[in-house]
Amino acid sequence: MDTAEAFFTVSLCDFDGLPEAARAKAEERYAKVLTRQLGGSDQVCETLHWVQQLEEDPPEEITEEVKTGFARWMKAVRAATEAGMQGLGEGEGCYFEVRGA
């Protein structure tokens, strides 16, 4: 049985003057930690899609399941951002953008 693995991309935005090699390594660190935190690339894509849906069309009632899922995403994003920014110095205003592919 063949299974397709979901893919996502990570881009470090608004960090002017950062050499491309350093940018690529930062994006790689971010993606690796995000994947590990959420349990695989399939889960990253599923959770990203879910969070985007919440942002576009928030539910009338915020359930414990929604709170827990969103908190899990935010915890993973914080850990991934910390790993991605490691060794880059001050990058005020920069951010990582995650997109499902």
The rounded distance, in Å, linking the Cα atoms of 62 and 65 is 8
Residue 2 has a pLDDT of 46
- Tell me the pLDDT tens digit for each residue of 45-69: 999 999 999 999 988 888 999 899 9
All structural domains of the chain with their residue ranges: 16-100
Which amino acid is it at 52? Q
Residue 86 has a pLDDT of 93
- In the predicted model, residues of the chain with pLDDT beneath 70 are 1-6
Contacts of residue 77, defined as CB under 8 A and 6 or more positions apart, other chains included, come to 34, 96
Residue 6 has a pLDDT of 67
pTM of the predicted structure, to 2 decimals: 0.88
CA angle 99, 70, 93 (to 5 degrees): 55
Residue 1 has a pLDDT of 43
